[in-house]
């Protein structure tokens, strides 16, 4: 069980980095558009994510105990900054904390795959017959392989489109019509 805890921290770190990059791109885009309020609201959301990660790290013992106070002050400051500059729209930045935790799903998929492989080996080893062991182990490993081939692309696309792009991408432009002649 202790082997999963570092994976938990790594998943939170990767999620915080990916979501933070999206927030920075959103803040840069707002700055380029001249929307200072949206830019500072996004930066408040970035401070919120970083303070949340620092609070998790300090409460779990990864960071010194002083960081609890620093992270708590950062959380308070980020909430004030987000609501002052973003108003009601600033409340939309609060979901980024949950988006960071969404990356834990990848860790769960990896752990489930390892557990299924372990179970396949154990069940195959418990069979009294070599042929039965090959059938049991092979079937379970084939199921695990199918899950391993289907799940990562779906999860990574979801993380990119839902957690990452929403911070800076605004749909629009001309509709794509591949067989229409443009004049």
pLDDT, tens only, 141-168:
999 999 989 888 888 888 888 888 888 8
Asked whether the predicted pLDDT for residue 114 surpasses 60, the reply is yes
pLDDT attached to residue 13: 92
pLDDT band per the 50, 70, 90 thresholds, residue 117: very high
| Residue whose C-alpha is closest to residue 164's, from 112, 96, 107 | 96
* Helix (DSSP H) and strand (DSSP E) numbers for the chain: 6, 0
**Scanning the structure block, which residue is given the tokens 């939309």?**
92
Q: What angle do CA 62, 106, 112 make, to 5 degrees?
A: 105
């Amino acid at each position: 069980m202790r082997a999963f805890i570092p994976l938990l921290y790594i998943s939170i770190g990767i999620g915080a980095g990916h979501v933070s990059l999206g927030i920075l791109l959103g803040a840069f885009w707002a700055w380029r558009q001249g929307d200072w309020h949206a830019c500072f609201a996004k930066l408040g959301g970035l401070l919120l994510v970083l303070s949340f990660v620092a609070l998790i790290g300090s409460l779990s013992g990864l960071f010194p105990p002083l960081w609890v106070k620093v992270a708590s002050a950062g959380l308070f400051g980020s909430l004030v900054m987000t609501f002052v500059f973003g108003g009601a729209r600033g409340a939309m930045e609060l979901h980024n904390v949950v988006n960071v935790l969404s990356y834990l799903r990848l860790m769960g998929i990896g752990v489930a795959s390892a557990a299924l492989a372990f179970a396949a080996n154990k069940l195959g080893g418990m069979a009294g017959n070599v042929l039965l062991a090959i059938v049991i182990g092979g079937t379970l490993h084939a199921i695990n392989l199918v899950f391993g081939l289907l799940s990562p692309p779906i999860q990574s696309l979801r993380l990119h489109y839902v957690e990452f792009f929403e911070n800076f991408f605004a749909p629009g432009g001309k509709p794509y019509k591949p067989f229409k002649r443009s004049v």
